[in-house]
Structure 1
Amino acid sequence: MRGVILAAGRGSRLGEATASLPKPLLVVGGRACIDFAVEALLSVVSEVIVVTGYQADQVEGHLRQRWRDSPIRTVRNLDLEAGNLTSLRAARASLGRDPFVVTNADHLFPAAMYTRHFQPGADVTIACERDRTILDDEMKVLASGERLTDIAKTLTQYDGAYIGTTAVGADMTTRYWGAFDAVAAEADVRTASVEMVLARLARDTATAPRLQWIEGLRWYEVDTQEDLDLAREGLGA
C-alpha cells in the first residue's frame, strides 16, 4: 500500500500566514503540519507520495531534510486554481494499480491514526466522525448501514462528517479510478474534488465506500487562522 498526501493548495484562508510560507510548513507543536501526515502514514505504507504545488520548492526541501532516509517522493500539481482532484491525478502514475491511502497535509492526525483508529480494508473505506457537533462547512456524509449513500457539504440530512482520509483497497482500485475518470470528464476542473469520486462510487451498492466511524481521536485541521490557533493551543506552538 502507498500513501498520498495532498499538499498543493495555496492556503489562502490563512491570509498573511501563508503569503510566503506554504500551509504544510506552518509549525504546530514544534514541527511542520505535513510531518504529522508523513509520520502517521509511514507506519502502514511502503512509500509516501506528496503532491506539491504552491511554494513547492519549500515543501520539497523540507521533506528532503526532515525525512531524507524515508521512502518519500514528490510530484507537482501546477494547476493551483483547480480542485484537489487534479492533485490526486498528479499522483496517479506513481500509484499504478496499487492500493493506497489519500489524506491532506493540513489534517494533523496522531501517529496512531492508521494503526489504532483507521484500518484500511479490501474495499474503499472512508474515515468519518459522528460523536460531536458537525459544522456547517464540513463535508457531511449520509449512510445506509455501514455504506455511504451521499457526501457533500450541502447535505441537510446526514449522519456525520468525512475527515479527509480515504483508503482504496486492492479489490477496488480499478473501480475507484473508473469513477475518478467519470468525475474528471464531467465536473468543472475548478471545483472537482476527491469527494466527488466518493459520491460517484456511492451511486452503486456494489462500489459504495464503507464508513469507518472514528472515536476517541484527537486531531486538528488547519484551514483558517482560528484553526491554527486552536491547533497550537492543543499541541503547542
Structure 2
Amino acid sequence: MRAIIIAAGHGSRLLPLTLTTPKCLVPVGGRAILDHQLDAIAAAGIETAVIVGGYRIGQIAEHLAARSAREIATELVFNPFWSAASSIGSVWAARAHLAGPFALMNGDTVFDADVMRSAVEAAPSGVTLMVEALGAAELDDMLVAVERGRVLAVGKTLEGATHRSLGIVLSRGGDAYARALRLVIGEDEGIHAYHHAIVDRLAKADAVAAVTIPADGHWQEIDRPEDIDRWRREHGGG
C-alpha cells in the first residue's frame, strides 16, 4: 500500500505560521506535521509515500531530502493548480498512483501510529473511509452518515450525520476511486470540490466502507493555531 499525502495548499487559517512556510512543515509538538504523518505511516508498515505539494514546494523538497529514507521512501509530486483548485486538484495530480492499493490523507492532520495501523488492518476490499463517532460537531468538520458499516453520504453540511471524517481514504486496489475522481472533477465547478466529494459519489453506489477510529486513538486536524495547542495539551507535548 502506498500513502498519498495532500499538502499543496497555503493554509491561510494558520497565518502567520504559513506566511513563509508550507502548512505541512508547521511544527506541532516539536515536529513538522509531515514528519508526524510519515513516522505514523512507516510504523503502520507502509513503505512508500507520495506527497503532493504546491505552495512553497521547494521547502518540502528540502525537508524530504534531509529525512532518512530508511523507514519510508518518498516521492514529491507538484500540483500546479494548488492556488486555483480545491483539494480535488491534488488528488488529480496524483492520479497515476491510484490504480494500486493506497491510503490517501489530508496533509494537515496529525495522528497516532495506531490510528494508521488500524485503518490499514481493518480496511476491507474496495474503498474505505476512516471515521470517528460524532459528538458535538466542530467548525469545518467533514460530516459522514454511516449505517451498518457503510458510508451513506459525506459533506460539510449533512442532515443525519453520525460520524466525522479523519480525511483518510483507503483503497485495496481497482479503478472505482479513479473513475469517480474523473466524474467529479469533470462536473461544472468540479475543480472546486473537496476530495471527499469522490467518496460521496461512491457512497451513493453503496461502495464505501466505514472504519471507526479505535477508542484510544488520537488525532487532530491542524487548521488554526489553537489546534496546535490542543494537540500539545492532550498529547503530552508529543
Q: Under a length normalisation based on structure 1, what TM-score does the superposition of the two structures give?
A: 0.91
Cα distance, 1:121 vs. partner?
2.6
Cα 1:39–1:23 shift into 2, 3 Å: same
Which of 124, 127, 131 matches 2:127?
124
Q: Contact 2:98/2:177 (CA < 8 Å) preserved in 1?
A: no
Cα 1:192–1:228 shift into 2, 3 Å: same
Q: Map 1:48-87 onto structure 2 (within 5 A).
A: 48-69=49-70, 70-81=72-83, 82-87=85-90
Q: Give the aligned length.
A: 232
Whole-Å separation in 1 of the counterparts to 2:50 and 2:210: 24
Q: What secondary structure is seen at the aligned counterpart in 1 of 2:210?
A: strand
Aligned residue identity for 2:233 = E
Mean CA deviation greater in 78-87 or 188-197:
188-197
Whole-Å separation in 1 of the counterparts to 2:131 and 2:226: 22
- Counterpart of 1:178? 179
Cα distance, 1:118 vs. partner?
5.2
- Counterpart of 1:232? 232
Cα 1:175–1:131 shift into 2, 3 Å: closer
Cα 1:174–1:7 shift into 2, 3 Å: same
Show structure 1 runs of 5+ residues with no match.
none
- Counterpart of 2:91? 88
Q: What secondary structure is seen at the aligned counterpart in 2 of 1:228?
A: helix
Cα distance, 1:113 vs. partner?
2.1
Q: Contact 1:126/1:165 (CA < 8 Å) preserved in 2?
A: yes
Cα distance, 1:163 vs. partner?
1.0
Cα distance, 1:189 vs. partner?
4.2
Whole-Å separation in 2 of the counterparts to 1:7 and 1:158: 27
Q: Under a length normalisation based on structure 2, what TM-score does the superposition of the two structures give?
A: 0.91
Whole-Å separation in 2 of the counterparts to 1:164 and 1:187: 24
Whole-Å separation in 2 of the counterparts to 1:108 and 1:96: 23
- Counterpart of 2:169? 166
Aligned residue identity for 1:18 = T
Aligned residue identity for 1:61 = E
Q: What secondary structure is seen at the aligned counterpart in 1 of 2:9?
A: coil
1:40-65 deviation per Cα after TM superposition (whole angstroms, max 9, x unaligned): 22233231000011110111111110
Cα 1:96–1:118 shift into 2, 3 Å: closer
Q: What secondary structure is seen at the aligned counterpart in 2 of 1:112?
A: helix
RMSD after superposition: 1.8
- Counterpart of 1:99? 101
1:112-138 deviation per Cα after TM superposition (whole angstroms, max 9, x unaligned): 222245533311111101153222421
Cα distance, 1:88 vs. partner?
1.1
Q: Contact 2:128/2:169 (CA < 8 Å) preserved in 1?
A: yes
Aligned residue identity for 1:174 = D
Q: Kindly, what percent of the aligned residue pairs are identical?
A: 30
Aligned residue identity for 1:63 = L
- Counterpart of 2:159? 156
- Counterpart of 2:212? 213
Q: What secondary structure is seen at the aligned counterpart in 2 of 1:79?
A: coil
Q: What secondary structure is seen at the aligned counterpart in 1 of 2:159?
A: coil
Q: Contact 1:118/1:212 (CA < 8 Å) preserved in 2?
A: no
